[in-house]
Amino acid sequence: MRIEGSRVVVTGASSGLGAALAAEFARKGAVVVLAARRLERLRQVAARITSEFPQAPTPLVVKCDVRVKKDVANLVKSCVDRLGGTDIMVNNAGTAVYGETARVSVEDFQDVFEVNFFGALRCMYEVLPVMKRQGKGLIVNISSVAGLHGIPYLATYSSSKAGLMAVSQSLRAEQAIRKTGVRVMIVCPGYVQTEMFEKEKNVGGGHRPRHPYRPAPKVAAAIVKAIERGKRDLVMTLEGKALAVFKGLLPGLNEMTMRKIARKLRD
């Protein structure tokens, strides 16, 4: 897929992977729409993009809380009104609550799902009619290696990302048989250096993984390259690829691995 000239929306673009993705798309010549709750941070990201890539189109900044239907509707409408449509929608906004599953409240699960699952779903529902009218479009859902198998002390995040993967697969198949021109790509990064893993709530009983964290710009570059190549799915680490393969072939091995991780992360 050609990135130059494409109209690209990135949610969660105020920091971390979202900001890195926005910069990479801009570097490739896309018209980037930055969406997140923190307006001032979005403006800073936009200014940095303009400074680093003066040849790129000026980014569009839209304040949007993906938990709020009205905000998401306004985001997509802004793209239509100002850009004429949307070619790529990247659902990247995410959050997590750490800790032993038995200590995590139902409300904590609901809070995480509101962003990671329902937030992405709202964006898909709003942008889908636009893309169908265009006869083309790509929805990129940022899931996670944690969505391939439940990670100990990260049940909120794992389950929300697993749900996002499932709905992405359903939507992809439906759009394919209807020949709408809308494609769905699922991305499963590993551990990325973002503030989410430093600042999110921990209810105790276990701590976040201490795996090596990949720099967000490198992850973003790999994702954009995969989009250019037309890939349907992208699993980005050896650990993730092993989980994907062994999940069906050797489920016992996966379970043993998760128990080992649980022992390491237990408080």
For the annotated catalytic residues, the residue numbers are 157
In whole angstroms, give the CA distance from residue 152 to residue 144.
14
Look-up of token digits 């839209």: 62
Closest C-alpha to 228, from 48, 87, 52: 87
CB 41, CB 61: distance < 8 Å: no
Report the DSSP beta bridge partners of residue 185. Answer: 140
Angle between helices 69-83 and 118-134 (to 10 degrees): 30
Q: Which residue has the tokens 């390259």?
A: 225
**H or E element at residue 217:** helix 216-228
Alpha-helical (H) ranges within 141-215 are 155-177, 196-199
Task: Give the C-alpha separation, 85 to 78, whole Å.
Answer: 9
Q: What are the residues facing 186 on neighbouring strands?
A: 141, 233
Token match 């200590």: residue? 103
Task: With CA atoms as reference, report the closest residue to 71 among 114, 15, 16, 18.
Answer: 114
> Residue 126 has which token pair?
């709003």
Residue 160 CB neighbour total at 10 angstroms: 26
